[in-house]
Chain A
Amino acid sequence: SAVISQKPSRDICQRGTSLTIQCQVDSQVTMMFWYRQQPGQSLTLIATANQGSEATYESGFVIDKFPISRPNLTFSTLTVSNMSPEDSSIYLCSVDGTGYNEQFFGPGTRLTVL
């Protein structure tokens, strides 16, 4: 399985600011995914990030709010822009494992917006 790290592991931010979350994988992967897990809720896919192309966003998520970079096959960033308390969530990075249908998750970034 892939080893995935995320930075920061947690942060407390002020309303109106932005935070960039980094996701690093120990092997090259084609697809990287970003999920949000709001308090007490399930995971919701934000976007799929392929290297060398624009990220594909799910309904309800827009690039201006959640810009994503994918500069190479082992790294991606997710920025949460102009944050509000409603953005307080765990943000998880995930990668495709064997054949794209086996996904492993990073440890998550726990974000609190005051």
Chain B
Amino acid sequence: AQKVTQAQTEISVVEKEDVTLDCVYETRDTTYYLFWYKQPPSGELVFLIRRNSFDEQNEISGRYSWNFQKSTSSFNFTITASQVVDSAVYFCALFTDKLIFGTGTRLQVFP
């Protein structure tokens, strides 16, 4: 069975703090894709990153970075020097034959 677990329901930080959002996935498939999406209060889903199961290289994009570790089935997302505009719900998702979402982590960044 496919499953995505985001154990952190809500995280609150003060601006400029670094924050890591955890994502653990389960699948028996050897080929799969992992995603992170951002959902700001407006409700729209914003695509952040896709990573396939054969590419364990970590990725950095500005203040965002992702750590993919197949050994622990984790795909964690770190925001460096957080800003108020980062406040949103973040979803991790797993694709095998369909896209399965985690329950999301609500991040609140206070000024």
B95 to chain A, nearest CB (A): 5
Contact A48 B43 (CB under 8 A): no
Q: Are A110 and B91 neighbours in the complex by a CB distance under 8 Å?
A: no
**In the complex, what residues of B have CB within 8 A of residue A104's CB?**
47
Q: Which of B50, B101, B102, B104 contacts A102 (CB 8 A)?
A: B50
Chain A residues positioned under 8 Å from B102 (CB to CB): 42
Q: How far is the CA of A110 from the CA of B43 in the complex (A)?
A: 9
Q: Choose among A41, A48, A105, A110 the residue that contacts B98 (Cβ–Cβ < 8 A).
A: A48
Known: A105-B44, A108-B43. A43 touches B50 (CB 8 A): no
Most buried by B among A101, A105, A107: A101
Q: What are the residues of chain B within 8 A of A92 when measuring CB–CB?
A: 45
Contacts of A1 in B (CB 8 A): 47
Once the chains bind, are A101 and B33 in contact (CB under 8 Å)? yes
User: Does A42 lie within 8 Å of B91, measured CB to CB?
Assistant: yes
The yes or no answer to A103 lying at the interface (CB within 8 A) is yes
Closest CB-CB distance, B100 to chain A, in whole Å?
Answer: 8
B104 near A90 with CB under 8 A, answer no
A20 to B105, CA, bound (A): 31
Distance in angstroms between the alpha carbons of A1 and B45 in the assembled complex: 13
Check B98–A90 contact: CB distance below 8 A.
no
Could you list 10 further interchain pairs (A-B, Cβ under 8 angstroms) beyond the known A42-B101, A42-B103? Answer: A1-B47, A45-B99, A94-B99, A101-B33, A101-B50, A103-B35, A104-B47, A105-B45, A105-B47, A107-B44
Task: Using CB atoms and an 8 Å cutoff, list the residues of chain B in contact with chain A.
Answer: 33, 35, 37, 42-45, 47, 50, 52, 91, 95, 98-104
